[in-house]
Copies of this chain bind each other. A is one copy, B any other.
Amino acid sequence: MGWSTREVADLAGTTLRTVRHYHDLGLLPEPQRSANGYKQYGVDHLVRVLRIRRLTELGMSLQQLVEAHDLIDRPHDVLARVAVDVRETIARLEEVRSELDFILESSAAVDVPPPLALVIADDRLPEPDRKLLVVLGRLLTPESAAALAEAMETLADDPAAREFDALAADADPDLRRDLAERMVPGSIELHQRMPDLMELKRGAPGRPSAALRSLHTAVDELYNPAQVEVVHRMAELRVAAIGV
């Protein structure tokens, strides 16, 4: 009499292998056997499997249960802590869900924080700028990313910025110098709107931070030599003007 392995698995809503796995780990005692060697489970075995399933569904690992065997019999003690974890998981998924909804509704990009996603979705944005924003999205705090997204709107109409985008790799040195000067005000405004960016630039004393070096690496890759030179020249002028 008693239940077979299949029966106790079915009653617990799980599989043969799962029940046997719990035996292997010592979480579930082996029941008596009938004459032919078949296992004969009782209600206590079912209760134990249900408890183990419950606690793992709630996020506990089998290893944790092996180490603290008595948790299985006095589950209340851990449930409070488990409840906290579940709430956190739900909060995280709600975040994901709202991001997903935002992406689907606005056809925004998936690689960057929400505010920047809309900026990147703009078809008029040149490809290098788009990619640079992806990198910046990884380096900035969400607040700073939001500030950057706002600033990008005014920059979209900045003639100097448009000229920079179109700058030829072999552009005339005088043109480079001139363009760099005209881009300084926009750069200063950007920096003042984003305290984070200034923080990022400071980094370790004497040497640039890892984040700033990552930014430079991206700029070097994404823009042509003339553009890279303009960026550096502009940065020097800006440092002379506002210190960062």
Contact = CB atoms under 8 A, between A and B. Distances in A.
A7 interface: yes
A131 B82 contact: no
Interface residues of A, number: 52
Nearest to A211: B11
A86 B93 contact: yes
Q: How many copies does the complex hold?
A: 2
Contact of A93 (B3, B12, B90): B90
Contacts of A68: none
A29 B175 CA distance: 38
B104 A50 contact: no
Interface string A64-99: 000000000001100110110011011001101100
A104 B76 contact: yes
A75 B99 CA distance: 14
Q: Is chain A's binding surface mostly helix, strand, loop or mixed?
A: helix
A100 B83 contact: yes
Given A111-B51, A135-B11, A135-B46, A97 B86 contact: yes
Contacts of A104: 76, 79-80, 83
Contact of A110 (B7, B79, B80): B79
Nearest to A84: B100
Nearest to A11: B138
A54 B110 contact: yes
Nearest to A8: B214
B100 A58 contact: yes
Given A83-B100, A97-B87, A100-B58, A75 B138 contact: no
Interface of A: 1-3, 7, 10-13, 42-44, 46-47, 50-51, 54, 57-58, 75-76, 79-80, 82-83, 86-87, 89-90, 93-94, 96-97, 100-101, 103-104, 107, 110-111, 131-132, 134-135, 138-139, 210, 214, 217-218, 220-222
20 contacts: A2-B221, A3-B217, A11-B135, A11-B138, A43-B131, A43-B218, A43-B221, A46-B135, A50-B111, A50-B138, A51-B110, A51-B111, A54-B111, A76-B107, A79-B103, A83-B97, A83-B100, A86-B93, A86-B97, A86-B100
